Amino acid sequence: MRRGILLLVILMLLFGCSNKKSESSASYRIAVITMMQGGEFWGSLKNGARSARSSTGSVLEFLAPVNESDYEGQISAVQKAIDQHFDAIVISPSHYSKLEDVVSQARSAGIKVVLADTALRNQDGDFLITTDYRQIGKAMAEHAFTHFGDDDSIHALVLGSMPNTTSMTNLVESLVQTFSERPNAKIVSATYSFTDEAIARDITVNALRNDPSINLIFALEEYTAHGVANALGETSSVHFIAFGTTQYEIQLLEKGVIDALVVVNSFNLGYRSVMAAIDLLNGTKPARKMIDFDLVTKESMFSEEHQRLLFQTFQ
């Protein structure tokens, strides 16, 4: 009799453990919706998401419009995830208000929504993972100041990518604020390229022609940086700080054309966003921690830490 009871207890324990294992490794369907299909930043984010998929067995589908300015394309991608009853959505909203209604619909349908990199203005997701874009703006400005003397005048051109994302808004506002605190420093123009290299090039050419006093340019997105670099050439005396990790930017950094590259660990962003979605689906609270970033210079680019950041897509 005792042996029978002992056997029953063992079977119950084994069955319980089996159930817990099954629940924790459930094959969830997660839609990962980036702002656009191309770009090193989004490619690295997707690689991070794939790494999370490999470690959890979840099923991912990557959706994105061709261009970041195609808000309707991103809305359609979210609607597709709703119609096909995905368990979770990881999304980087390309507009802080236009995506609010469809994200609300997804959450009402019981889909967990993780906002990656950018937030919405009046609608919360179930979780937000981003980096500190205000701190990035401050770091970019303060590094730029080191290239000038205390009494030098600094006239800066700021080229963002998309005007209606929380990340870009915070970044530009932080640059403006930091400049306002330094004598003889001003931002003569802050405008947007809509991630179009040709537009960025034309803006730069026209700005330098109309205001020869410009001696500093911030390019806050990789395609924007390419356009600025093409406008400046490799012999310009204008200081240039850019955002991104493309091979072209890295080459320009090594040549000294770009003074510094701001690099966000978008691989980690993609990995942690998918893991956060899985935690939410499992009823677990994800850890709140900012995604790391750093400012890479020609002098620091070959350090082990910065090599990992610059070539993070190959982790």
14-28, 29-43, 86-100, 252-266: which has the minimum mean pLDDT? 14-28
The rounded mean pLDDT for the chain is 91
> How far apart are the C-alpha atoms of 29 and 233, rounded to whole Å?
46
CATH of 27-131+266-284, one of 3.30.530.20, 3.40.190.10, 3.40.50.2300, 3.40.470.10: 3.40.50.2300
Contact 310, 245 (CB under 8 A): yes
What is the amino acid identity at position 40? E
Percent of the chain's residues with pLDDT above 90: 87
Q: Tens of pLDDT along 128-150?
A: 999 999 999 999 999 999 999 99
Dihedral pair phi/psi, residue 309, rounded to 5°: -70, -45
What's the whole-number mean pLDDT along residues 258-281?
97
Burial annotation 203-237 (CB, 10 A radius, 16+ → b, else e)? bbeebbeeeeebbbbbbbbbbbbbbbbebbeeebe
Residue 314 confidence (pLDDT): 40
Helix residue spans in the chain (DSSP H): 2-24, 40-56, 71-83, 100-108, 133-145, 166-180, 197-210, 222-232, 247-255, 266-281, 304-310
17-21, 79-83, 148-152, 236-240: which has the minimum mean pLDDT? 17-21
Q: What radius of gyration do the chain's Cα atoms show?
A: 23
Strand pairing partners for 261? 242, 296
Q: What is the dihedral of CA 44, 50, 51, 56, to 10 degrees?
A: 150
> Which residue do the tokens 């459930």 mark?
26
Domain boundaries in the chain?
A: 27-131+266-284, 133-264
In the structure, what pLDDT confidence band is assigned to residue 26 with cuts at 50, 70 and 90?
low
> Which residue do the tokens 């034309």 mark?
202
Residue 55 confidence (pLDDT): 82
Quote the tokens at residue 99: 């995506």
In the structure, what pLDDT confidence band is assigned to residue 113 with cuts at 50, 70 and 90?
very high
| CA-to-CA separations, 49 to 36, 78, 111, 286, in angstroms, rounded | 15, 17, 18, 16
With a cut of 70, say whether residue 225 has pLDDT above it: yes
What's the whole-number mean pLDDT along residues 3-20?
41
Residue 199 burial (C-beta neighbours within 10 Å; 0-12, 13-18, 19+): middle
Quote the tokens at residue 225: 């940086």
With a cut of 90, say whether residue 243 has pLDDT above it: yes
Model-level pTM? 0.89
Residue 1 confidence (pLDDT): 44
| CA-to-CA separations, 160 to 38, 141, 143, 217, 219, in angstroms, rounded | 18, 14, 18, 11, 6
Residue 152 burial (C-beta neighbours within 10 Å; 0-12, 13-18, 19+): exposed
What's the whole-number mean pLDDT along residues 23-46?
88
With a cut of 90, say whether residue 22 has pLDDT above it: no
Burial annotation 301-313 (CB, 10 A radius, 16+ → b, else e)? beeeebeebbebb
User: Which of helix, strand or coil describes residue 34?
Assistant: coil
Identical fold between 27-131+266-284 and 133-264:
yes
Q: Looking at per-residue confidence, does 77 or 15 come out higher?
A: 77
Q: Tens of pLDDT along 156-215?
A: 999 999 999 999 999 999 999 999 999 999 999 999 999 999 999 999 999 999 999 999
Give the CATH fold of the 133-264 domain: Rossmann fold (3.40.50)
Q: How many CB atoms lie within 10 A of CB 38?
A: 15
What's the whole-number mean pLDDT along residues 12-19?
41
